[in-house]
């Protein structure tokens, strides 16, 4: 349905309409998800080229009004984000990095540095750095994302918790298990207070602590944590195959 929808919008609304460009970006995502990389890249570059190079800042949308389509229009930025993601999936990290950097700067100007859309792209850029071997640069960006979320939204907001989880994962990836454990324990306490011991988010954070402890070969603590988790699951009358599997692994 997406190819037909994009074609219909081109015919009815015209190439320069923002809805057409959004439809093209969505089509590129569908091609990406289907691993049709060449088609995804072509359609996304076409949309980005129309939005950024052909129309320019002063082109009026075909629907009239005072909205303008150009490099900083949301449709253009969305197309650039999509293209950056496609380049990343293809392993073309330099191209992905260049596009994500432009998106970050555009979002900083338009919606501000603390907006979650800006922070999310900082995280994307950090992932590119990590995948291309620039681990420390990636860690710095993850710290920046966490600091922004903590300052702007507070430590109890889901966005801040998400950035803490990302940073803990980054620590694990580089073998800094003590730092990962400290963050995971903090996340666990933050989940436990409002959600309770039996909530999935709390149990997930406990499992992350368990992995941190296991990686440090503190096997006595691993058993204690596993027993606590199993006790909670049994009270709920639910099976927890992940925990049971880890019990077997420890044995």
Pick the residue with more confidence: 146 or 71? 146
**C-alpha torsion sign, points 83, 72, 158, 214:** positive
Backbone torsion region of residue 129, taken as left when φ is above 0, otherwise alpha when ψ lies between -120 and 50, otherwise beta: alpha
Residues 200-204 have a mean pLDDT of 78
Which own/partner contact pairs does 199-204 have at CB distance under 8 Å and 24+ positions apart? 203/229, 203/232, 203/233, 203/240
Q: Which of 162, 186, 182 is nearest to 172 (CA)?
A: 182
Count of CB atoms situated within 10 Å of the CB of 154: 10
What pLDDT does 20 receive? 60
Residue 169, pLDDT above cutoff 80:
yes
Distance CA 69, CA 47 (A): 12
Of 6-10, 12-16, 122-126, 201-205, the range with the highest mean pLDDT is 122-126
pLDDT attached to residue 89: 75
Query: Residue 248, Cβ neighbours under 10 Å: how many?
Result: 8
69-83, 123-137, 199-213: least confident range: 69-83
pLDDT value of residue 180 = 92
- pLDDT value, residue 128: 92
Closest by Cα among 161, 183, 163, 162 to 172: 183
Q: How confident is the model at residue 247 (pLDDT cuts 50, 70, 90)?
A: very low
Which among 92, 97, 89, 95 is positioned nearest to 37, based on CA atoms? Answer: 89
Residues 6+ away with beta carbon under 8 Å from 114 = 148, 151, 152
What CA–CA distance (Å, rounded) separates 129 from 94?
10
Query: 139, 244, 155: which is closest to 193 by C-alpha?
Result: 155
Q: Do 146 and 163 contact (CB within 8 A), yes or no? A: yes
**Unique residue bearing structure tokens 């930025």:** 77
């Amino acid at each position: 349905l997406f190819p037909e929808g994009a074609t219909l919008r081109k015919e009815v609304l015209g190439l320069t309409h923002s809805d057409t460009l959004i439809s093209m970006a969505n089509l590129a995502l569908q091609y990406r998800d289907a691993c049709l990389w060449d088609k995804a890249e072509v359609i996304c570059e076409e949309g980005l080229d129309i939005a950024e190079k052909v129309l320019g800042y002063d082109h009026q949308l075909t629907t009239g009004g005072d909205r303008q389509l150009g490099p900083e229009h949301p449709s253009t930025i969305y197309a650039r984000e999509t293209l950056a993601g496609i380049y990343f999936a293809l392993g073309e990290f330099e191209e992905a990095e260049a596009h994500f950097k432009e998106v970050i700067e555009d979002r900083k100007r338009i919606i501000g540095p603390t907006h979650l859309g800006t922070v999310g792209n900082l995280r994307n850029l950090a992932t590119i750095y990590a995948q291309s071997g620039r681990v420390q640069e990636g860690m710095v960006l993850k710290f920046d994302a966490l600091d922004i979320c903590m300052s702007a939204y507070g430590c109890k907001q889901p966005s801040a918790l998400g950035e803490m989880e990302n940073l803990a994962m980054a620590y694990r990836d580089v073998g800094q298990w003590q730092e990962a454990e400290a963050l995971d324990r903090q996340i666990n306490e933050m989940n436990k207070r409002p959600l309770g011991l039996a909530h999935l988010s709390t149990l997930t954070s406990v499992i992350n602590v368990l992995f941190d402890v296991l990686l440090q070969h503190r096997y006595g603590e691993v058993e204690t944590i596993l027993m606590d988790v199993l006790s909670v699951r049994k009270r709920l009358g639910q099976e927890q195959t992940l925990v049971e599997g880890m019990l077997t692994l420890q044995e």
